Structures are given as C-alpha cells and as structure tokens.
C-alpha cells in the first residue's frame, strides 16, 4: 500500500473537520444579517473590547515574558524543568477552573483588593488577566524556542567586540528572534481573543465577544447568536490572515 | 605575554585539565588537536566568555580581542557594512570615523565591493573575510581564531591562510589559532601546542612537533602512516618476522613511527649506512596532489611517499620487487 495517498486522505479528513463548521456557520447567515450585526453597537463594542484586552495581555506578556524565555533558553539551573512545567499549567487545567483560581487571587474578597482597595472583577483589567493567564504559554514557548535556535556564539561574538551582555541581547539576540516573537505574539493574542472559560468567571461584564455570543445563545437561541458569531469569526480571520502575511514577510 | 596557569574546566562531555601555557606578545601560536579536544572552549576562556573552574588566565585582561569562529557568526540581520561596523558602533564612534575605518579595512581584505550586500548572499570565503574585517576594525592586540578555514574549500582556504599571515606580519598581533588540520598548523604557527582530550601533550616549534611526536596518538594525528608496536630488544623491534633497528635499546612494549618521506625506494639494495633495508613487493601506488603514496609489502605494509618523477622512472607496477631503506634515526620510538 502506498503511504502518500493514504496520508493525503487522512489529512483531508482532518482539514474538513475544521473547515466545514466554520463555513457552514458563515453561510448560515445572509449578508444583510451580517451587515446589520456589523452596525450593532453592543456587538462591535464587545469585539473591540476583546481585541483590546487581549492586546494588553500580550503586551504585558512580552515585557515580562521575553526575559524569562531568554533565561529558559540559555541557562541551565536546578529546577528549570519545574518552571517549564509551571508555565504549561494554564494549557492543561480546564479554563473555568483557571477562572475560579484567578478569582481567589483577584476577586473582591482577595488580599489584593483588601490591600489596594482596587476591585478587579467586572473590569477590562479582569478580562486581560483571564486572557493573560490562559494564553501566556503560547508566547513563552514560542519565544523560548526562538532564542534556543540562535547559536550562543553570536552573542559571544558581540561581547568580544565590546558589547555588554545587555547590548548583545538587544542588538543581536532580540532582532534574530524577531520572527518567533512575532509569531508567538500572534498566537497569544489569538488565544486570548478566543478565551471564554476563565474570562466569563472573572468578568461576565464588560462582555467580551465570546461571552456575548454565549449569552445570546443561552437567552435567545441559535438564530439570534448566529450573526454575532459570523461577525466575530470573520473579523478574527481577516486580522490573522493579515498578521500572518506581515509576519512571514519579516 | 599571555599566561595560562593550571586552567581547569569541566564541561560535561570533556574537560580542560590543568592546562598551563605561555604565549609571547606578537607570537603566532597554533593549538592543534582533534575535534572534541576542548579547543573552542579554551579559546572562549581566553576571550573571557567562559570562566575556568580553577586556575588563572593572565595577560588578556582589558586587551582588545578579536574572536573569529569557523562558521563566521555574521549577524544575519545586518548587512556587510553593519557587521564590520558593529564594534565601532557599540563604542559610539562618530559616523565619519566608522565609515573611514570600515572602508580602510575592507579595502585591505578585498571586500570593499560587498559592503551593502546581505550576509546570506556571500560565499564562504567572503563571509570569513567579513568576519575577519569585523574583528580587525577594532585593532585587536590578540586574535583568537577558532578553525578559521575549516568550512572553506581548498583554494579559498589557502587564500584565507595567506591573508591571515599577511595580517600577522603587518600588524604583529598575538595570534592564537586553533585547528585540527596539521598542514595548516605547520604552515602558520611559530609554535604549536598539541591538545588531546583537554591536555596539552606537546608545545614546541612546528619542526620539533612534526619530527619528534611524543606518543603514538600524536604520531597518528600528525600524519605518520607507518606506526607499529612491539617489544624492543638490543635495538631491534620484531614485527611479522622482520627486525627494525630503532634508536631505543630495550623496551617491553613500545611504538615506533616512520614518516613516509623518510623512506627510500630502490631497485637494488643500497650500499649505505642506513641500518634498515628490506626487500618487498609493490602493492599499489596512490596518486596524491604533490606526490605518489606507494604501498610496499615487506612483511608489513609500509607507506612510502615518492615524487611523480620517481614514479614514472622506476618499475613500480603492482607485484614488482623493490628495496626500502631508512635510517635508524628516522624511527621514532614512544612508550605510549
């Protein structure tokens, strides 16, 4: 038996499994319905909130996560495997459980709120916190692999030419890892946008697009949820196609 | 003067073991050894990029160092000019000065036409020139070269070797050059240090290192093709029924090595003072670039290098009877 046709066949099954629901969804709505959904203030507001909150989460992760990824890629130390395992926790635990765990730390009764007097739940910050928690591993792991691929002798060469370790990092390692940083950021942002479980528990309001869709489906059924769903799918698809194209060009 | 005093470093797979070494200012010192002997690690310690577990390295503190790797390590996100200018940019030199110095160095190395090119469009030889220019523009007092020609084809390799030698002659920097290529070591070094498994087993002039290897392993590595072992009694080492006269009187277990160009081939037995003369049969001749390597069976196989002229003029077809002669002093003896 030839492997190639079989592989193609099996692969096609999987691709169809992804593509059919997405297209079935998109074509279930008339252009008029989709158009009026685009004009709808509540929906567009929640879409923008979703994009924005996930962007904040990604920016925070970049600032805190690039140094961590670099350390994990370059240094060997006792307990490194444990830390790498910890970073993957958000991927393996159910996201509703993550939301509840986050509520213990950031909720109204939390130590954080008692000390600072700032109440997080129900704010845009809460949305970002939920997204940050669940999507962080995508950025860290991608950037870490990016740094690992750079021969450490590039940095050594830079240092031998008079660069400080910090300068070697910013002028050599960082630009050389640019591609992984960009693709990791896109992955993380995308993962943040699609997050439902953690966000719905930490911040039912303000409503992100996934929460809004869920609420409409719960209260009014499939027909009413469909236009919003299509709009969200189309907007995210367009953004990611553009970002992928820009990322590949780099 | 660069001084290494009992430098020890454990790097998992291998170690540098209590290595002591002195390299004079302006000297061209070659560290010769097989891959995995710890050569790169040693250079990185000298460059201050790795820290020894114990021991000291003196004479390199605050010296300007030019480190050059086998695979160039040119920054792929910068063009040729930016690569060469990197160190000057870090030092925040003014633009005009950077420009002049980059131009000057690249003219000298014959890469002035490449300055605006992308790194990935360069050939291996061009890349190594750029890497050398990038180090050279900083006017280093010490060059640390890690297998600088190992990734190049033969003709480019010779060009780069010449270029490095000219550079050394002109500016007289101290050079520490690491290689696994004994011909390169012989061609370039004022002095050669032989590094095996993290240990410096010999440190001498190229002539001494090549003519007086200190061990069987060293002899094999230095290209000696006739290496045998056995017991020496009354100056004689017997292998497969033939007695080879050696300079050593007695040894329970010894190794001997004879260089293939220290052996003479002749049609008839030579009337000479050389003690080792054996009759044998030609197995075959292997044509090399500058000589023919003859394999002669005298009871054991001997490798003998002869010129193309001799190869044409002598009856050396496989099976021909032939005499081989070499002096006792051509036989190097080691106990390990």
Is B47 within 8 Å of A156 when comparing Cβ atoms?
A: yes
pLDDT confidence bin for A1, thresholds 50/70/90: low
Do B23 and B108 sit in the same domain of this protein? Answer: yes
Q: Is the CB of residue B39 less than 8 Å away from at least one CB of chain A? A: no
What is the chain A residue with the closest CA to B49? A156
Specify the CATH number for the domain of residue A140. 1.10.3720.10
Mean pLDDT of all residues belonging to chain A: 92
Q: How many angstroms separate the CA atoms of A64 and A72, rounded?
A: 13
Is A176 within 8 Å of B67 when comparing Cβ atoms?
A: no
Structure tokens at B135: 């180090």
User: Residue A182 domain-assigned?
Assistant: yes
Residues 141-160 of B with CB under 8 A from A: 144
pLDDT of B17 reads 87
Q: Is the CB of residue A167 less than 8 Å away from at least one CB of chain B? A: yes
User: Residue A188 domain-assigned?
Assistant: yes
Do B288 and B170 sit in the same domain of this protein? Answer: no
Predicted confidence pLDDT, tens digits, chain B (336 residues) = 899 999 999 887 788 888 999 999 999 999 999 887 788 889 999 999 999 999 999 888 778 899 999 999 999 999 999 999 999 999 999 999 999 999 999 999 999 999 999 999 999 999 999 999 999 999 999 999 999 999 899 999 999 999 999 999 999 999 999 999 999 999 999 999 999 888 899 999 999 999 889 999 999 999 899 999 999 999 999 998 899 999 989 888 999 999 999 999 999 898 888 899 999 999 999 999 889 999 999 999 999 999 999 999 888 899 999 999 999 999 999 888
The contacts of residue B289 (CB under 8 Å, 6+ apart) are none
Residue B19 in contact with residue B198, Cβ under 8 Å?
yes
Specify the CATH number for the domain of residue B222. 2.40.50.100
User: Residue A5 domain-assigned?
Assistant: no
Q: How many angstroms separate the CA atoms of A240 and A242, rounded?
A: 5
> Could you count the other beta carbons within 10 Å of the beta carbon of residue B320?
13
Is A175 within 8 Å of B135 when comparing Cβ atoms?
A: no
pLDDT of B274 reads 87
Residue B232 in contact with residue B208, Cβ under 8 Å?
no
How many domains would you assign to chain A? 1
> Could you count the other beta carbons within 10 Å of the beta carbon of residue B53?
12
Do B185 and B240 sit in the same domain of this protein? Answer: no
Do B59 and B191 sit in the same domain of this protein? Answer: yes
pLDDT of B271 reads 87
Do B221 and B300 sit in the same domain of this protein? Answer: yes
Q: Which of A239, A212, A174, A188 is nearest to A41 (CA)?
A: A212
Q: How many angstroms separate the CA atoms of B259 and B103, rounded?
A: 47
Q: Which among B71, B134, B144 is the nearest to A161, CB-wise?
A: B134
Do B60 and B156 sit in the same domain of this protein? Answer: yes
pLDDT of B63 reads 81
User: What is the tens place of the pLDDT at every residue in A163-211?
Assistant: 999 999 999 999 999 999 999 999 999 999 999 999 999 999 899 999 9
**Is A24 buried (19+), middle (13-18) or exposed (0-12) by CB count in 10 A?**
exposed
Q: Is the CB of residue B1 less than 8 Å away from at least one CB of chain A? A: no
- The Cα of B96 is separated from the nearest Cα of chain A by a number of Å equal to 19
Taking residues A39-57, report their average pLDDT: 94
Residues 124-163 of A with CB under 8 A from B: 151, 153-154, 156-163
**Is B207 buried (19+), middle (13-18) or exposed (0-12) by CB count in 10 A?**
exposed
3-class secondary structure, B277: strand
User: Which chain A residues are closer than 8 Å to B134 by Cβ?
Assistant: 161
Do B212 and B224 sit in the same domain of this protein? Answer: no
Is A162 within 8 Å of B91 when comparing Cβ atoms?
A: yes
For chain A, what percent of residues have pLDDT higher than 70? 99
Q: Which among B66, B90, B134 is the nearest to A167, CB-wise?
A: B90
Do B74 and B208 sit in the same domain of this protein? Answer: yes
- The Cα of B77 is separated from the nearest Cα of chain A by a number of Å equal to 7
User: Which chain B residues are closer than 8 Å to A157 by Cβ?
Assistant: 67, 69, 73
Do B211 and B328 sit in the same domain of this protein? Answer: no
Q: Could you write out the DSSP letters of every residue in B218-276?
A: HHHHTT--EEEEEEEETTEEEETTEEEE-S-S-EEEEEEEE-TTS-EEESS---SS-SE
Q: How many angstroms separate the CA atoms of A66 and B87, rounded?
A: 25
Specify the CATH number for the domain of residue B119. 3.40.50.300
Do B14 and B118 sit in the same domain of this protein? Answer: yes
| Apex A156 CA angle, A150 and A158, nearest 5 | 95
* Final residue in a domain of this structure, among B178, B199, B216: B216
pLDDT over 90 at A17, yes or no: yes
pLDDT of B91 reads 94
- What residue numbers bound the domain in which A126 lies? 48-208
Do B212 and B242 sit in the same domain of this protein? Answer: no
Q: Which among A160, A171, A172 is the nearest to B65, CB-wise?
A: A160
User: Which chain A residues are closer than 8 Å to B77 by Cβ?
Assistant: 175-176, 178
Do B210 and B223 sit in the same domain of this protein? Answer: no
Q: Is the CB of residue A224 less than 8 Å away from at least one CB of chain B? A: no
How many domains would you assign to chain B? 2
Which residue of A76, A161, A177 is the best one to mutate when testing the B interface, meaning the one whose CB has the most B CBs within 10 A?
A161
Q: Which among B73, B76, B77 is the nearest to A157, CB-wise?
A: B73
Q: Could you write out the DSSP letters of every residue in chain A?
A: --HHHHHHHHHHHHHHHHHHHHHHHHTTS-HHHHHHHHH-HHHHHHHHHHHHHHHHHHHHHHHHHHHHHHHHHH---TTHHHHHHHHTHHHHS-HHHHHHHHHHHHSTTSHHHHHH----TTSHHHHHHHHHHHHHHHHHHHHHHHHHHS-HHHHHHHHHTT--HHHHIIIIIHHHTHHHHHHHHHHHHHHHHH--HHHHHH-SSSPPHHHHHHHHHHHH-HHHHHHHHHHHHHHHHHHHHHHHHHHHH-
- The Cα of A55 is separated from the nearest Cα of chain B by a number of Å equal to 27
pLDDT of A250 reads 62
- What residue numbers bound the domain in which B272 lies? 217-334
User: Which chain A residues are closer than 8 Å to B71 by Cβ?
Assistant: 151
* Final residue in a domain of this structure, among B171, B194, B216: B216
User: Residue A167 domain-assigned?
Assistant: yes
Residue B220 in contact with residue B299, Cβ under 8 Å?
no
User: In whole angstroms, how large is the CA radius of gyration of chain B?
Assistant: 24
- The Cα of A169 is separated from the nearest Cα of chain B by a number of Å equal to 12
Is A160 within 8 Å of B76 when comparing Cβ atoms?
A: no
User: What is the tens place of the pLDDT at every residue in B75-85?
Assistant: 999 999 999 99
What is the chain B residue with the closest CA to A157? B67
User: Residue A228 domain-assigned?
Assistant: no
pLDDT of A246 reads 81
Q: Which among B73, B77, B87 is the nearest to A162, CB-wise?
A: B87
3-class secondary structure, B167: helix
Is B69 within 8 Å of A162 when comparing Cβ atoms?
A: no
């Amino acid at each position: 038996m030839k492997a190639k046709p079989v592989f193609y066949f099996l692969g096609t099954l999987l691709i169809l499994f992804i593509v059919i629901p997405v297209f079935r969804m998109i074509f279930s709505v008339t252009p008029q319905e989709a158009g009026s959904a685009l004009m709808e203030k509540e929906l567009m507001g929640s879409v923008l909130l979703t994009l924005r909150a996930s962007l904040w989460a990604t920016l925070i992760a970049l600032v805190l996560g690039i140094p961590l990824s670099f350390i994990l890629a370059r240094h060997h130390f006792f307990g490194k495997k444990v830390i790498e395992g910890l970073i993957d926790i958000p991927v393996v635990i159910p996201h509703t459980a993550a939301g509840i765990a986050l509520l213990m730390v950031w909720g109204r009764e939390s130590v954080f709120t008692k000390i600072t007097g700032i109440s997080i739940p129900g704010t845009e910050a809460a949305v970002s916190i939920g997204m940050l928690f669940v999507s962080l591993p995508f950025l860290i792991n991608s950037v870490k692999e990016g740094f690992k691929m750079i021969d450490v002798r590039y940095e050594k060469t830079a240092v031998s030419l008079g660069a400080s370790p910090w300068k070697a990092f910013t002028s050599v390692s960082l630009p050389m890892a640019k591609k992984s940083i960009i693709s990791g950021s896109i992955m993380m942002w995308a993962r943040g946008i699609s997050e439902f479980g953690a966000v719905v528990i930490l911040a039912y309001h303000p409503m992100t697009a996934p929460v809004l869709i869920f609420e409409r489906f719960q209260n009014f059924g499939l027909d009413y949820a469909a236009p919003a769903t299509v709009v969200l799918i189309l907007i995210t698809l367009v953004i990611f196609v553009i970002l992928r194209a820009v990322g590949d060009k780099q | 003067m660069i001084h290494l005093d009992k430098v020890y470093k454990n790097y998992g797979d291998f170690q540098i073991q209590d290595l002591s070494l002195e390299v004079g200012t302006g000297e061209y010192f070659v560290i010769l050894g097989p891959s995995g002997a710890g050569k790169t690690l040693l250079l990185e310690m000298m460059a201050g990029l790795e820290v020894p577990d114990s021991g000291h390295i003196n004479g390199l503190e605050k010296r300007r160092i030019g480190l050059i790797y086998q695979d160039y390590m040119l920054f792929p996100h910068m063009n040729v000019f930016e690569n060469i200018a990197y160190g000057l940019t870090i030092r925040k030199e003014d633009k005009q000065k950077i420009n002049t110095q980059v131009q000057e160095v690249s003219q000298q190395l014959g890469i002035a036409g490449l300055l605006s090119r992308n790194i990935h469009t360069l050939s291996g030889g061009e890349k190594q020139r750029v890497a050398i220019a990038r180090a050279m523009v900083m006017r280093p007092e010490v060059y640390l070269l890690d297998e600088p020609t190992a990734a190049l084809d033969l003709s480019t390799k010779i060009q780069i070797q010449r270029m490095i030698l000219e550079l050394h002659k002109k500016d007289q920097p101290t050079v520490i050059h690491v290689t696994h290529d004994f011909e390169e070591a012989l061609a370039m070094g004022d002095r050669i240090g032989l590094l095996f498994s993290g240990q410096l087993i010999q440190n001498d002039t190229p002539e001494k290192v090549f003519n007086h290897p200190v061990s069987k392993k060293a002899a094999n590595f230095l290209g000696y093709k006739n290496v045998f072992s056995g017991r020496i009694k009354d100056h004689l080492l017997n292998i497969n029924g033939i007695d080879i006269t050696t300079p050593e009187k007695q040894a329970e277990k010894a190794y001997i090595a004879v260089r293939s160009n220290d052996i003479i081939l002749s049609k008839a037995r030579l009337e000479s003072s050389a003690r080792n003369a054996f009759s044998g049969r030609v197995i075959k001749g292997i044509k090399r670039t500058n000589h023919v390597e003859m394999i002669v069976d005298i009871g054991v196989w001997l490798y003998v290098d002869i010129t193309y002229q001799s190869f044409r003029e002598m009856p050396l077809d496989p099976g021909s009877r032939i005499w081989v002669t070499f002096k006792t002093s051509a036989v190097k003896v080691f106990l390990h």
